[in-house]
Amino acid sequence: MTSSTDKSAPQAGARPSRAAIKAVRGTRDLLPDQTPLWNRVEAAARAVFSRYGFGEIRTPVFEATELFARGVGEETDIVSKEMFTWEDRARAASEKAQSLTLRPESTAGVVRAYIEHKMGETGALQKLYYIGPQFRRERPQRGRYRQFWQIGAEVIGPPSSGSESPLRDAEVLEMLASLLDELGVRDWRLELNSVGNADDRARYNVALREALAPVKARLCPDNQRRAETNPLRVLDSKDEQDQEIINGLPKIADYLGEASREHFAEVRAALDACGVKYHVNPRLVRGLDYYTRTTFEFTVQTGLGTQNALLGGGRYDGLSEMLGGPKAPGIGFAIGEDRLILVLQEQAKQDAEAAGAAAGEEKLDVYVAPLGVAQNAAALALAKELRREGLSVEVGDGSFKLRKSFDVADKVARAIVLLGEDEVASGVITVKAFATGEQVKVPRAELKDRLRVR
């Protein structure tokens, strides 16, 4: 269950040890002291998704590079500098070499699957969710990794399925608010914006280009390039020195046509009706090219520092067509699971400090200690019996001294069961509960009930 590291110096005469291989920069191992929280979060997400009618989809972790180039956009940071891409060689004459990429996000893959499996032909709205790792070559720091996990969902379908309705946007946002509340995330904040439809965006792009032309020379080199190729991306820039210029740029809200303005107003009205609080942020255009109309981000004040975006998403009404599919408006989001976990860990730490207690750790129901190696087999048989009853059990070893068995048991379990020659012969077993210090002898048949009492 636990791992140990041998820190002792190499013994005299031993061959020089080879350098240990470490996890690759930006990736990490999640050990058993962390995974229970990950599993709790994923179980809560699955339960909420199923209450809202979502089904799980699992797509491959690598896809054709072109999917992301077309879907996410060539000029985005993700595609232009963060993807893990390689030329995959053909292994047989029937295969062709092709460029492949570890997925940096999952929406493009889900929409590809929607098209490939003709899911739109059912006529029904598709509500799909996924949980899985994503890969981006970003500069690693707290809350930012090169392999990270996202919990995401997409609502997509032909227009006749109601996929364009502002109700769908509001439902997704209300679901997210409920999920965060259910998980106990305390101080989340929903930032909301509309980036309009393709026509609005075209008008806005012209205005942005015009506004950027006279100030372009004062921008950082990345933003100078974006000002030419994809001016909307300038608004995503985190460059400190460019912020003053960026703040003075035209706002998308002033370029929305009637239809987009109405759609956005209806999303807000539905959120108001559900009591979901939001803040309209006209700068929120998000770093992916496929977004149209509603865009959003949930941020938190605790636990994430500068990487305070917990999740993001938006509408992508033209994405299916960009990928060669039928018209299929949709809306989706991706929660940064690593960040959600950091927030929950930080909150638990603060709560424990306020209560003057250590953050609680789960213990096993019982530790079965054979008193000699002759009782090892009987100990394993008893553990099997108790595990079948649903109890969580660890088994010691007959070679341990009694003191050691007690020490180990006290760390991992709430009680210890001693199994010596007498106990095996008589079927009356000694149990000690650590919380009370009480030690009793009970018949084997009653053991499970005694151990269930907490």
Q: Which residues bind ligand AMP (CB under 6 A)?
A: 105, 136, 138, 143-145, 148, 150, 287, 309-312, 334, 336, 338-339
Nearer CB in complex with ligand AMP: 331/417: 331
Residue pair 263/166 in contact by the 8 Å Cβ criterion: yes
Tokens of residue 326, six digits: 């039928």
Strand-pairing partners, residue 295, are 193, 314
- Taking the least distance from each CB to ligand AMP, the nearer of 146 and 363 is 146
Three-state DSSP class for residue 182: helix
The distance of closest approach from Cβ of residue 297 to ligand AMP in the complex, given in angstroms and rounded to an integer, is: 6
The DSSP secondary structure of 386-412, one letter per residue, reads HHHTT--EEE--TTS-HHHHHHHHHHH
Least distance CB 311 / ligand AMP (angstroms): 5
User: Measured from the CB atom, is 84 or 434 closer to ligand AMP?
Assistant: 84
The least distance separating ligand AMP from the CB of residue 338, rounded to whole angstroms, comes to 5
Residue number with CB closer to ligand AMP (105 or 365): 105
Q: How far is the CB of 149 from ligand AMP (least distance, A)?
A: 8
Structure tokens at 225: 């390039």
Q: Distances from the Cα of 304 to the Cαs of 141, 165, 188, 299, 345, in angstroms?
A: 11, 34, 12, 9, 11
CB of 138 to ligand AMP, least distance (A): 5
Residue type, 302: T
Q: 278 and 271 in contact (C-beta within 8 Å)? A: yes
**Per-residue b/e over 159-196, b at no fewer than 16 CB within 10 Å?**
eebebbbbebbbbbbbbbbebbeebebbebebbbbbbb
- What the block records as the tokens of 281 is 């942020």
Q: How far is the CB of 395 from ligand AMP (least distance, A)?
A: 39
* Nearest to ligand AMP of 148, 204 (CB atom): 148
> Which two tokens mark 10?
């190499």
Residue 354 burial (10 A CB sphere; 0-12, 13-18, 19+): exposed
Indicate the residue among 115 and 342 with the shorter CB distance to ligand AMP: 342
In the bound state with ligand AMP, the residue whose beta carbon lies nearer, of 136 and 363, is 136
CB of 83 to ligand AMP, least distance (A): 12
Asked if 305 and 143 count as a contact pair (C-beta separation under 8 A), the reply is yes
- Shortest spacing between CB 236 and ligand AMP, in angstroms: 10
Comparing CB distances to ligand AMP, the nearer of 30 and 273 is: 30
Query: Which residue's CB atom is positioned nearest to ligand AMP?
Result: 336
